[in-house]
Amino acid sequence: MPKTYTIGPLHELLKTKLSNINTQESYQSSNSLWEVDRSCITWLDTQPPQSVIYISFGSVTELKEGPKQRGYIVKWAPQEEVLAHKAVDQQVNSRFVREAWKLGLDMKDVCDRGVVENMVNDLMEDRRDEFVRSTARMAELARKSVSEGGSSSCNLDRLIEDIRKMSVQANDNGQGSFLQEIGTAVTRS
């Protein structure tokens, strides 16, 4: 049976690992194939703390431009930066977050203006305190898991060690070039 390594949230784990080796390099990741529109950050800077809900409709949804007082629409947002912003009132969105952690909203693939409006109003008016508490609790658990000695940090270390062992074994058997490159790449990161 293959080994399983539960590692994540990856962006926080990387930031923690980099800070632990005292790197002076700034960290900013992007896994986007689309051009990131950072104009929303300027708008977020003008909003009160925990007053904004981040809603991601995916990369192919067409939305009509609306008034900037009640919201801000961009084609592709710098998601990590938006979610970490003090004005944003949640950490992540997904069906899993709704069903497993009870922290998000699931529109069941319906992108109707009325459905979105009702769900946002429900969250920001009726269930706001519940969501703030839940997201704070999950954020703390994530921070603990990626900190030195946390489950995610330990599992990443275990994965790296197992890759190194496979590399050594492959070298001993004369088949090491690919695994050696992987081991070297992991060692450098």
- State the SS3 of 82-94: HHHCCCECCCCCC
pLDDT at res. 188:
41
pLDDT at res. 30:
55
pLDDT at res. 187:
44
Instruction: Map residue 52 onto helix, strand or coil.
Output: strand
The pTM assigned to this predicted structure is 0.52
CA distance 31 to 69: 29
| Ordered DSSP codes for 53-68 | ------SS-------T
Q: Tell me the two tokens of residue 156.
A: 């990443």
Q: What amino acid occupies position 85?
A: H
Helix axes 151-172, 10-20, angle to 10 degrees: 80
pLDDT at res. 46:
93
- 125 CB-near residues (< 8 Å, 6+ apart): none
pLDDT at res. 184:
46
Q: What share of the chain is helix, strand, coil (3-state, %, to 5)?
A: 50, 0, 45
Q: What is the 3-class SS of 7-21, one letter each residue? A: CCCHHHHHHHHHHHC
- Residues of the chain falling short of pLDDT 70: 22-33, 57-69, 90-100, 102, 104, 106-111, 174-189
pLDDT at res. 79:
76
CA distance 53 to 40: 13
Q: Tell me the two tokens of residue 125.
A: 């008016």
